Homo-oligomer: A and B are copies of this chain.
């Protein structure tokens, strides 16, 4: 396969003058999406109405799109399906995982996990009322905390604040070595870094598609279950589209074979259509090229900022190998600094207490963007623009 040359800015709608360093939160609009969605609405829903489930294969869309996502994360064919939100998919994976180790009561996670994953675990534990414990350790202490009382290790590979990456293969092996089940959250990994799900041998993975996969706000989540495990699972969210024969309308639930048992209700066809179109930007893209470009961009950003913005302190790992596709700096008045940056059309975000965070997406960000962004960041800091009420008013931080 010949891989395409990066970046591919021409495939995206990027507002003039904006330097968009927040694709780790919401990807920009791929140019193909509007026409694809409009065609689906008019030519499928409008023209075929209920018949669209068959003639336009809306019913097969979660698996078809799941396979497109699966290719980007090293999953075998037909081991990924789409639907719901990431939080719901976390719940499904975690509920199944704790049932696989009924004699153990510890769910291990880390403080770098996205809070919603922790919340979902807390809700499940309270609901089950079976004495489970959510044990949250520092990201650097996870490996040694994987002990033989742990039922499930539930970790987000790339820390949403620092960008620090866990080693999926090593951690999964450690978990399996003590008899624990491994769940990976790939929210900040899918489309950002190479992932080899099949190779790492984890039982479960989940993730979202509105970040590096550019599926749009509210794009559906994905779930992967290792093929040799999936048919042992009794889904907690046992909806009709995970039934072996949804249209037989039987009174009793019988899970579908394979990953389809992780489907729940009616798929979000409009969101899936936008996502399916958005995923076309990956045609011919080699994730190794993405990774190499990402490290070049983030290394350049760190070097430039450290050279020109001495008041900022690097919060992300300095070694690119340990970093996802994002960089955070600790900054005094960080919130106001981000307000001023956004007012100047450099879009990043802020995470408490003092982090300014920037995502680098080689599909549409290049070295010129990095330099231009640092020019503005240095201006904001050197000239105390963050203290200017005009910028504060204009630069609303999301």
A210 within 8 A of B: yes
Say which one of A113-121, A294-302, A376-384 lies at the interface with B: A113-121
B residues in contact with A41, CB < 8 Å? 29, 33-34, 37, 216, 274
Is A85 touching B266 in the complex (CB atoms < 8 A)? yes
Q: Which of A79-99 contact B (CB under 8 A)?
A: 83-88, 91, 95, 99
B37 lies within 8 A of A237 (CB): no
Shortest Cβ distance from A214 into chain B, in angstroms? 10
- How far in angstroms is the closest Cβ of chain B from A136? 7
Interface residues on A, range: 35 or more
Chain A positions 11 through 51: 1 when the CB is less than 8 Å from some CB of chain B, otherwise 0? 00101001010100110110001100110011001110111
Q: A49-B28, A271-B218 are in contact. Are A123 and B238 (CB under 8 A)?
A: yes
Copies in the complex: 2
Determine whether the beta carbon of A84 is less than 8 Å from that of B95: no
Q: Interface stretch among A52-60, A307-315, A365-373?
A: A52-60
Q: Are B265 and A85 in contact (CB under 8 A)?
A: yes
What's the Cα separation between A342 and B85 when bound, in Å? 35
Residue A169 interfacial (CB < 8 Å): no
Q: Does A236 contact B (CB under 8 A)?
A: yes
Q: Mark A182-219, 1 if CB is under 8 A from B, else 0.
A: 00000000000000000000000000101000001110
Question: CB-defined interface of A115-140 with B at 8 Å, one 1/0 digit per residue?
Answer: 11011101110111110000010000
Known pairs A119-B243, A216-B270; list 18 more (Cβ under 8 Å).
Answer: A13-B42, A18-B49, A34-B41, A37-B38, A37-B270, A51-B342, A51-B396, A58-B217, A85-B264, A115-B243, A115-B250, A123-B237, A129-B130, A217-B267, A218-B272, A248-B352, A249-B351, A268-B271
